[in-house]
Amino acid sequence: TGKELKESYRNYFPIGVAVSARTLKDPAQSELILRQFNSITPENAMKMGPIHPEENRYFWRDADSIVAFAQKHNLRVRGHNLCWHEQTPKWLFYDKNGKLVTKEVLLRRLRDHIYNVVGRYKGKIYAWDVVNEAVSDDSTRLLRNSLWYQICGEDFILKAFQYAHEVDPQAILFYNDYNTERPEKRERVYRLLKKLVDAKVPVNAVGLQAHWSFDEPTSNELIATVKKFASLGLKVQITELDISVYPWEKNHRTLRPGEDTSYSPEREQKQADQYDMVFKVFRKYKKYITGVTFWNVSDRYTWLDTYPVEGRKNYPLLFDQNLQPKKAYWRVVNF
Ligand code: XIL
């Protein structure tokens, strides 16, 4: 006891947390962050929509303030993310007449974006999620049928890695995705990564988002995933960890009348057991795992409060709404 997360894991990997510029200005939360964590990820501030709202205009303020906080307090920063099908700016895929741009134009825009964003924080951001969620959830295809894909085919993926590597050759470059523990999706992610590795694309690591639930993944699924990606010579990080107290659901929906949304002792217990299990695996495979980042600080705010079920509070983190450590916290720090 008395040991904080980052201390407990000193000999394993950095422990990170997703933040906004606002979170860092709140004294109680920033104090907790500095006590427990040694790495941060901007939750939204570096995504293309927020940071590059118009073709010739960047909005640096929030990203800059997060990076300045990290520099001041000696925290690592993971950059998130450079190429994604969500939170993209309106202008990106269209020309002035509202028509979809050509592959050439889109790749030039991607290059300019990556050069500017990665270049600005060169030496201050040690790892980048270069491509996020490009693999399909649907077993009939390898890649998601996004506008990136419709316009560029699969080339946007290797180009994104190339551009990022050109501008910051020291940065560790990630492919990042969710549900990578599920055998079918894991297989597709593996196929994509294998192609990239075989083609000598500068991809160094894979991010398991780890938006998990108390009953998913199983330890075998998790271990199989870590080993499978490691077999390609890639490092693995857990990039967006949270463990929902509800079963996983695919579709966005509203709350059903009478739905049980209580955070019961049973739910808290199952969650603690799941946290315990996954951290045992992380420690055992520390040779491959180079970082673990939580997606938000405490149950006071989590993106799962509105996703996938609108109006259902969730409690997926190690600290409660009063920023106090939960059962799961003690299982994670004491081993
Ligand atoms: C989420 C943020 O937490 C929310 O604030 C935002 O409204 C939507 O995006 N996968 C990712 C993250 O890679 O960027 C997402 O973050 C969660 C799912």
Please tell me the predicted confidence (pLDDT) of residue 3. 83
Check if 209 has its Cβ closer than 6 Å to any atom of ligand 1.
yes
Helix (H, G, I), strand (E, B) or coil at 77: strand
Taking every pair of Cα atoms in the chain, the longest distance, rounded to a whole number of angstroms, is 62
At residue 2, φ and ψ (nearest 5 deg) are 80, -5
Check if 303 has its Cβ closer than 6 Å to any atom of ligand 1.
yes
Residue 29 contacts by C-beta under 8 Å, 6 or more apart in sequence? 23, 297, 298, 323
Burial class (CB in 10 A: 0-12, 13-18, 19+), 110: buried
Per-residue tokens: 92:
């990106």
179 Rama class: left (phi>0) / alpha (psi -120 to 50) / beta: left
- 43 C-alpha to center of ligand 1: Å? 7
DSSP-assigned letter for residue 308:
S
How far apart (Å, rounded) are the C-alpha atoms in residues 185 and 95?
A: 34
Residue range 70-79: mean pLDDT, rounded:
98
Check if 263 has its Cβ closer than 6 Å to any atom of ligand 1.
no
The rounded mean pLDDT for the chain is 97
The tens digit of pLDDT for each residue in 184-223 reads 999 999 999 999 999 999 999 999 999 999 999 999 999 9
Is residue 1 pLDDT above 70, yes or no?
A: no
How far apart (Å, rounded) are the C-alpha atoms in residues 211 and 303?
A: 11
Would you call 240 a catalytic residue per the annotation? yes
Please tell me the predicted confidence (pLDDT) of residue 150. 98
Helix (H, G, I), strand (E, B) or coil at 190: helix
Quote the percentage of the chain above a pLDDT of 90.
99
- State the pLDDT confidence band at 225, using cuts at 50, 70 and 90: very high
Please tell me the predicted confidence (pLDDT) of residue 2. 61
DSSP-assigned letter for residue 94:
B
- Provide ipTM, 2 decimals: 0.99
Catalytic residue, from 4, 43, 181, 240: name it: 240
> Using CA of residue 138, residue 143, residue 148, residue 149, what is the dihedral sign?
negative
Please tell me the predicted confidence (pLDDT) of residue 244. 98
Check if 8 has its Cβ closer than 6 Å to any atom of ligand 1.
no
Is residue 291 pLDDT above 70, yes or no?
A: yes
Atom of ligand 1 nearest to the CA of 18: 3
**Among 199, 197, 198, 200, which residue's Cα sits nearest to residue 235?**
197
Is residue 334 pLDDT above 60, yes or no?
A: yes
Distances from the Cα of 179 to the Cαs of 1, 202, 233, 268, in angstroms?
A: 33, 23, 21, 22
Distances from the Cα of 88 to the Cαs of 43, 162, 261, 314, in angstroms?
A: 15, 20, 32, 26
